[in-house]
A = this chain, B = another copy of it.
Amino acid sequence: MRLLKELEQKTAMELGEELHRFAANLSLICRSITGDGLRQTLAAIQSRIPLEISEVPTGTQVFDWTVPKEWNIRDAYIKDASGKRIVDFQTCNLHVLNYSTPIHTTMSLRELWPRLFTIPERPEWIPYRTSYYQESWGFCLSHNQMQALVEGEYEVCIDSTLTQGHLTYGECYLAGRSTDEVLISCHICHPSLANDNLSGLTVATELAELLAGRDLRYSYRFLFIPGTIGAITWLSRNCENVRRIRHGLVLTGIGNESGFHYKKSRSGNAEIDKAMAQVLRDSGAAYELLEFSPYGYDERQYCSPGFNLPVGCLMRTVWGTFPEYHTSADNLDFIKPDRLAESLRVCASLVDVLENNRRYRNLSPYCEPQLGKRGLYRSTGDQAIEAEINARLWLLNLSDGEHSLLAIAERSGLSFEMIRDAAEVLRENGLLAPVSELGTNGSLDAAAGNIAEVTSRG
């Protein structure tokens, strides 16, 4: 499988516009960690990929947490004395403090004031604020809007419900030849924010669509879940299965203009970490590798010490470090079609690495085999050899059954693609044989798992 090559059939612009369109369709839905916004979002994803949707009742204990009441909202506004809606949920769903309890009353500006959230440094933007676990209500608005408020009475209405209900999440499982899993996780709990929400779920949906129905080495599990409580809920209901996860990736904030940031898993040395480093190096894009830290997205839960899963996180800009973060400026203009396309390609390239990262054995390990007689070498000795021949020499030299293709790419400085292509040519010529990866219970053997160790020895 060469997923990246397939994707390169389309231009980045074509691909990116498809992705952007899907994000745009979902941008007006008011999502939260529970409620109908989640269900609508999951339904849209389900229209494209096989998705199993779970509903977990309010009050369910999930480790140290409890599934909260379900929140839904129909309308919200602040009306001035003339009855004009001066803050209106219908124009922007960020206007309400997410998870606000219902209210309908009249109050003075002075009473209302403490319920208003703004960003004084960015007076035109509306902040995104939440209060999931402390019952409260409030409004978010631009600082300019707030400044314009005059003394007087205001009608305040939040037509929401906070009731016994469910937490909803979606799961797309694509069975491969092995029961070992690759986990792709993204959060779907933010309202209209584009980068910090839609970019991740859009790319994940497209990737799942691309993989569905294929013959895969690994099984793939895509999670579309509310952040934190969703990951905790899913983990609490999948404690046994979780050990099948061999590689995992949290996808978020991958639509804006910025180089990539990949935050490593807790061990910092997992195959996903090495694979992602290789993929980003090969991509030609700007990128930075970040050490693991316990703050961030749902890798916090996957990498908690009881699970310690090999899960990293792919972002462009890092949460909290760009001004648009958690504001109305994280909108559809903030995410760019070509960036979405590039992010998808990086994910496809990661799949290519994970699917193809085998170990081989040189069948002619004593001295070099004579490549020339097989047409795999140049004939008249001139000065330099091509990278293709170089890749063959590296593979023959390091294919002692211990080095994976990824380890060979890493050590040779060549791209994974070049190493994989060379492995194919050599295998076709009877010079390399893949090391068996038969395992018990449908699990791959140590082939993949040992890579970290082997590479560091190499």
Chain B residues near A133: list those with CB within 8 A.
370, 372-373, 379
- Check A304–B131 contact: CB distance below 8 A: no
Chain B residues near A231: list those with CB within 8 A.
367
Chain B residues near A379: list those with CB within 8 A.
131, 133-134
- Check A399–B305 contact: CB distance below 8 A: yes
Chain B residues near A393: list those with CB within 8 A.
294-295, 300
Q: How far is the CA of A320 from the CA of B381 in the complex (A)?
A: 11
Q: Is A93 part of the contact surface with B, judged by Cβ < 8 Å? A: no
Q: Is A235 part of the contact surface with B, judged by Cβ < 8 Å? A: yes
- Check B320–A390 contact: CB distance below 8 A: no
Question: A303: nearest residue on chain B (CB-CB)?
Answer: B397
Interface size class of A (residues with CB under 8 A): 35 or more
Q: How far is the CA of A274 from the CA of B304 in the complex (A)?
A: 25
Partner of A367 from B64, B129, B396 at Cβ < 8 Å: B64
Q: Is A451 part of the contact surface with B, judged by Cβ < 8 Å? A: no
Q: Is A325 part of the contact surface with B, judged by Cβ < 8 Å? A: yes
Q: Is A306 part of the contact surface with B, judged by Cβ < 8 Å? A: yes
Q: Is A232 part of the contact surface with B, judged by Cβ < 8 Å? A: yes
Q: Answer whether A304 and B366 are a contact pair too, CB < 8 Å, given A295-B390, A397-B266.
A: yes
The contact string, 1 if C-beta is below 8 Å from chain B, for chain A 182-217, is: 000000000000000000000000000000000000
- Check B304–A396 contact: CB distance below 8 A: yes
- Check B64–A370 contact: CB distance below 8 A: yes
Q: Answer whether A366 and B320 are a contact pair too, CB < 8 Å, given A294-B396, A379-B134, A397-B266.
A: no
- Check B236–A367 contact: CB distance below 8 A: yes
Q: Is A161 part of the contact surface with B, judged by Cβ < 8 Å? A: no
Chain A 100-118 interface residues, beta-carbon cutoff 8 Å to B: 117
Chain B residues near A246: list those with CB within 8 A.
none
Q: Is A354 part of the contact surface with B, judged by Cβ < 8 Å? A: no
- Check B397–A304 contact: CB distance below 8 A: yes
Chain B residues near A134: list those with CB within 8 A.
372, 379
Q: Is A364 part of the contact surface with B, judged by Cβ < 8 Å? A: yes
Q: Shortest Cβ distance from A419 into chain B, in angstroms?
A: 13
- Check A380–B131 contact: CB distance below 8 A: yes
Contacts A133-B372, A293-B412, A294-B394 given; 10 further ones with Cβ under 8 A?
Answer: A64-B364, A64-B369, A65-B370, A131-B379, A236-B367, A294-B397, A301-B368, A304-B397, A306-B367, A308-B400
Q: Which residues of A contact B (CB under 8 A)?
A: 62-65, 117, 128-131, 133-134, 228, 231-232, 235-236, 239, 266, 293-295, 300-301, 303-308, 320, 325-326, 362, 364-370, 372-373, 379-385, 390, 393-394, 396-400, 412
Q: 8 nearest interchain CB pairs?
A: A306-B365, A306-B366, A294-B397, A294-B393, A64-B369, A305-B400, A232-B367, A301-B367
A and B contact pairs by CB, cutoff 8 A, 20 listed: A62-B367, A63-B366, A64-B367, A64-B370, A128-B381, A129-B381, A133-B370, A228-B368, A236-B367, A294-B393, A294-B396, A295-B390, A300-B393, A304-B366, A304-B396, A305-B396, A307-B366, A307-B367, A326-B381, A326-B382
